[in-house]
Amino acid sequence: MNAIIANRLFKSFEKGKIKALEDISFEVKQSELFGLIGPDGAGKTTLFRILATLLLAESGEASVDSLDVKKDYKAIRKRVGYMPGKFSLYQDLSVEENLNFFAHVFGTTIEQNYHLIKDIYQQLEPFKTRKAGKLSGGMKQKLALCCALIHEPSVLFLDEPTTGVDPVSRKEFWEMLKYLKSEGITILVSTPYMDEASLCDRVALMQKGKILDIDTPEGIIEKYPKKIWSIHASNMYALLQVARAFPNTHTCFGFGESHHLTLKNDEKDYEDFCNYVQKHYKEPFQIQEITATIEDCFMALS
């Protein structure tokens, strides 16, 4: 069964000048961990706001748990946990006060749904009297997740929950999401970090209000259309200049500690490329065929 359906959603701002969403359609199955992957301005927040019934689309339909976002907005709000990207907590309230506040709004108590938040809450408990504004980034995100879960939602909307969070907390956060999924909760999560795509069941790659592709992370990688190589040398900048000057270079981008290279005619150009670099870069360099990452796929699609 589909827990979320978006069908041909359009939304623009400033009298149509900014097209935030253009023909967005996708479905998320029950208990699926579905990622919206895309850079700033892709339209992720706008999409969350429409699905969370906080904003109306110009056209198109959407439903959450088979309820219509327009007609049934009150019922949807009771079933959905929404963690907005911009901070959702009351900075001057303590950890415990924030949780109690959200529980009270939804007519429940911390005790009633403790099983869902137990693992995260135990990490927060030593700081329960600390004001939310004084927590670290990772702790704030954990508290915000607890607050979004307090009424035992069937669907969770998490807008960039790991942005600005340290790598250890990011890892813990994703482990928590896996647990929540195993509890039957459907999760729609957005992230600008391409490496987090592999942690989702399926992802939609988004850019400038459009969906470029929807698939499992493995499916997206399998569809990558070209051979790809990683190149490395002591002077990475000079290597990039030379690699880009080779007439049959298709793309060459800096990628962490190496550059990722594609050639117009794939392996047919490989030898000529190596000879060209040897001639113009003059110093030793390493080249190795690799499997594309989600980021490579994103670049190829955009």
Ligand X SMILES: Nc1ncnc2c1ncn2[C@@H]1O[C@H](COP(=O)(O)OP(=O)(O)OP(=O)(O)O)[C@@H](O)[C@H]1O
Q: Is 42 in the site for ligand X (CB under 6 A)?
A: yes
Regarding 40 and contact with ligand X (CB under 6 A), the answer is yes
Q: Does 14 bind ligand X (CB under 6 A)?
A: yes
Contact 207, 47 (CB under 8 A): no
Judged by CB under 6 A, the residue of 9, 26, 46, 276 near ligand X is 46
Q: Does 45 bind ligand X (CB under 6 A)?
A: yes
Report the nearest approach of ligand X to the CB of residue 43 (Å): 4
Residue 54 makes contact with ligand X by CB under 6 A:
no
Residue 43 in contact with ligand X, rule: CB under 6 A = yes
SS (H, E, C) 248-292: CEEEEEEECCEEEEEECCHHHHHHHHHHHHHHHHCCCEEEEEECC
Closest approach of ligand X to the CB of residue 34, in Å: 15
Which whole-number Å values give the CA distances from 213 to 82, 152, 191, 296, 299, in the listed order? 25, 31, 15, 13, 12
Helices (H), 66-188: 73-79, 95-105, 114-124, 137-149, 167-182
The size of the interface with ligand X (CB under 6 A), counted in residues, is 12
Span 19-38, contacts to ligand X by CB under 6 A: 20, 38
The interface region with ligand X, picked from 14-22, 72-80, 166-174, 229-237 by CB under 6 A, is: 14-22
Given candidates 10, 25, 31, 41, which one binds ligand X under the rule CB under 6 A? 41
CA–CA dist 159, 51 (Å, integer): 12
In angstroms, give the least distance from the CB of 64 to ligand X.
18
Element (H, E) at 22: strand 18-29
Within residues 262-281, the interface with ligand X by CB under 6 A covers: none
- As given in the structure block, the two tokens for residue 248 are 């049959």
Quote the CA–CA distance of 65 and 44 in Å, as a whole number: 20
CB of 113 to ligand X, least distance (A): 29
Look up residue 265 and give its two tokens.
């005619």
CB of 207 to ligand X, least distance (A): 9
Count the Cβ atoms, other than its own, within 10 Å of residue 4.
22
Residue 58 Cβ vs ligand X, minimum distance, rounded to whole Å: 13
Q: Report the DSSP pairing between strands 186-191 and 155-158.
A: parallel
According to CB under 6 A, which one of 44, 140, 142, 227 is a site residue for ligand X? 44
Joined together, the tokens standing for residue 240 give 């990039």
Is the CB of 35 or the CB of 43 nearer to ligand X?
Answer: 43
**Whole-number Å distance between alpha carbons of 239 and 255:** 13
Q: Which stretch binds ligand X (CB under 6 A): 43-51, 215-223, 268-276, 294-302?
A: 43-51
Give the shortest CB-137-to-ligand X separation in angstroms.
Answer: 16
Q: Please state the closest distance from residue 217 (CB atom) to ligand X, in A.
A: 19
Which positions touch ligand X (CB under 6 A)? Answer: 13-14, 18, 20, 38, 40-46
